[in-house]
Amino acid sequence: MLENIIDLGSIIIADIVLSGDNALIIGMAAAGLAPELRKKAILFGMVVAAVLRVVFALIATKLLGIPGLLLLGGLLLLWVCWGLYKEIRAHTDEDAMHAMEDAENPDAGYTGKPRRTMGQALTAITIADVSMSLDNVLAVAAIADGDTNKLIFGLGLAIVLMAFAATLIMKLLTKYPWISWAGLVVLLYVALEMLYRGIFDETNGILAFLKTAGMLG
């Protein structure tokens, strides 16, 4: 019971702190469009991010069971932690909050002649969504550790947060930066656990694979 509560809490924190990148990119891309096009761009970004999370989750669930890929996943999550650390230091959440506010306000942001087409904005959002959705799914899948219910909860929560509370989340992270630091600690712990299991796990660890292959005594 306690383990489930800890895992769900970790998933919630991970979803919250990893939503900053999506909000920043979507907000900045939308704010450069004419006001009447912004809602369409934001909606597109949210839908693409949601679809990518589902696709990546299906792939990650299968791949993390392959010897060696758990170790690779741990290394990738460490890279995510490093990126999140730099973002916290650079106050990315505050920039994301302003970008989303500008995008949602027809009198804010860029209101002159459009500097980019709808297609250019959607392309930028899609490219960004690919990277950020992968980060989010990797973290949630690692915490869920094969538990389908936890994985579905994590993905569903991430999608709901993006769709209905992106600006609110950014305001929360800006006002209470300790949440971002707590999220970084959680993700760092998960990454180190993945690395350990990726090496020593009796089923999926790289050492077990090498022994089975006869490369270790």
pLDDT digits (tens, 9 = 90+) for 177-193: 888 898 889 889 888 98
Higher pLDDT, 108 or 35: 35
Name 37's Cβ contacts closer than 8 Å, sequence gap at least 6: 30, 114, 118, 121
Q: What are the two backbone dihedrals, phi and then psi, of residue 171, each rounded to the nearest 5 degrees?
A: -65, -40
Measured torsion, CA atoms of residues 67, 72, 77, 78, in degrees rounded to the nearest 10: 120
What's this model's pTM, rounded to 2 decimal places?
Answer: 0.76
Residue 125 is predicted with a pLDDT of: 75
Residue with tokens 């949602």: 104
pLDDT in tens, 32-67: 777 777 778 778 877 887 788 888 887 877 776 676
Assign 210 a pLDDT band (cuts: 50, 70, 90).
low
Is the per-residue pLDDT at 164 higher than 60? Answer: yes
Structure confidence at residue 212 (pLDDT): 67
Lowest mean pLDDT across 39-43, 102-106, 111-115, 164-168? 111-115
Examine the pLDDT at 13 and tell me if it is beyond 70. yes
